[in-house]
Amino acid sequence: MYVAVKGGERAIDNAHKLLAAARRGDPAVPELTLAQISEQLALAVDRVMAEGSLYDRELAALAVKQARGDLIEAIFLVRAYRTTLPRFGASEPIDTGAMQTRRRISAAFKDLPGGQVLGPTFDYTHRLLDTGLAEGGDAPAPATAPAEPTAMPRVTDLLAEDGLIETFPPGDPAAPVGDLTRAPLTFPAGRDLRLQNLARGDEGFLLALGYSTQRGYGRTHPFAGEIRLGEVEVEFMAEEVGFAVPLGRITVTECQMINQFRGSATEPPQFTRGYGLTFGHGERKAMAMALVDRALRARDLGEERKAPAQDEEFVLSHSDNVQATGFVEHLKLPHYVDFQAELGLIRRMRAEIAAGEDARKEAAE
């Protein structure tokens, strides 16, 4: 009985001590450093930065360590810290067209300006467990070639030049940028807030929803127009000096889906867009996000809405894994007051039914 007696406080303290010991594991095994996590579990750190909405590799690595590798717990740690930070404002939009790319592929064109660059990918590896890795050792040196500074325009920009894909009006630079961490989300939500929600959303949830659109639940006929990974500059408009100053470079993964064309009485047919962006290297998440973004545009595009991925309230209300895990796991908290109330009612109703049956039997006899 863990509450009926005094001692909750000591139990909690002891549980924390035990957790710290379990986190460390066998003290004979060397302790992980943050640099090791950041370098060798880089994709875990990337996911924590993306869904934690905080670009800080060191803090994300610390969170992974503290969470014993539980990434949702690590994301939660980062979020709870991020929320206490002051807001100075919004950066200038990043220019992914000017990205220093490490990887860039298009599934829509065989070749295109800037070329296809495979980069560091699992894609064509055979998923055979590498026993050599268990031994450790140095990785082979990567192949190199002289840098050729070639422009790598975005596929969607190339299509837009010919009017083959919908264009978005350039955003009003004076318009405020929506931020669902500073104002409660209301419905219908603008696309800025939808994208922010998806960018913070759980990879697994978006993956399943994106997958569902491919299996006919809100089909959008997607092509991976382009996926690119690399570094972009972040700039901030400094009012004091009157121009944008660079804050630093961040790694991002961008996915632009090209979807089913549509036309109307007034407009010729055009392809439509779905957009995905993550901090770090997060291709699966970026692609899933692009599929779900496109599915959520159903209302804007006048499409019939009947699949879960097209339902804005459903998707945006359930995408956040920190919220979801908290509410699912709160069922661990004691609920015995409510349960007692239910117990009382069910006993009373059963007694009433039993009394009714007895009365019927007596009447029959």
Binding region for another protein (CB under 8 A): 1-4, 6-9, 11-12, 58-59, 62, 76, 79-84, 86, 181-188, 313, 317, 322-323, 325-330, 333-338, 340-345, 348-349, 352
Q: Give the nearest distance from C-beta 330 to another protein in angstroms.
A: 3
Q: Which two tokens stand for residue 309?
A: 């991925």
Virtual CA dihedral for 129, 134, 135, 136, nearest 10 degrees?
100
**N residues, the chain:** 365
CB atoms within 10 A of CB 291: 27
Minimum CB distance to another protein smaller for 80 or for 238:
80
Q: Give the nearest distance from C-beta 31 to another protein in angstroms.
A: 17
Minimum CB distance to another protein smaller for 23 or for 211:
23
Minimum CB distance to another protein smaller for 92 or for 192:
192
Q: Give the nearest distance from C-beta 156 to another protein in angstroms.
A: 32
How far is the C-alpha of 38 from the C-alpha of 251, rounded, in Å? Answer: 14
Q: Which two tokens stand for residue 191?
A: 């696309």
Q: Give the nearest distance from C-beta 2 to another protein in angstroms.
A: 7
CB hemisphere CA count around 88 (13 angstroms): 8
Q: Give the nearest distance from C-beta 126 to another protein in angstroms.
A: 39
Q: Give the nearest distance from C-beta 76 to another protein in angstroms.
A: 7
Beta strands in 183-282 (DSSP E): 223-238, 243-262, 270-279
Q: Which two tokens stand for residue 68?
A: 């014993």
Nearest 5°: the CA angle 276, 69, 123 is: 45
How far is the C-alpha of 237 from the C-alpha of 49, rounded, in Å? Answer: 24
Edge-first strand order for the sheet with 270-279 is 100-105, 223-238, 243-262, 270-279
Minimum CB distance to another protein smaller for 126 or for 330:
330
Q: Give the nearest distance from C-beta 247 to another protein in angstroms.
A: 15
Taking Cα atoms as reference points, which of 309, 316, 274 lies closest to residue 294?
Answer: 274
Minimum CB distance to another protein smaller for 211 or for 314:
314
Minimum CB distance to another protein smaller for 194 or for 284:
194
Q: Give the nearest distance from C-beta 178 to another protein in angstroms.
A: 12
Minimum CB distance to another protein smaller for 218 or for 230:
218
Cβ atoms 146, 48 nearer than 8 A: no
How far is the C-alpha of 103 from the C-alpha of 123, rounded, in Å? Answer: 12
Minimum CB distance to another protein smaller for 111 or for 329:
329
Minimum CB distance to another protein smaller for 309 or for 322:
322
How far is the C-alpha of 222 from the C-alpha of 258, rounded, in Å? Answer: 6
Q: Give the nearest distance from C-beta 172 to another protein in angstroms.
A: 23
Taking Cα atoms as reference points, which of 358, 337, 259 lies closest to residue 300?
Answer: 259
Cβ atoms 276, 293 nearer than 8 A: yes
Is the bond preceding residue 149 a cis peptide, omega within 30 degrees? Answer: no
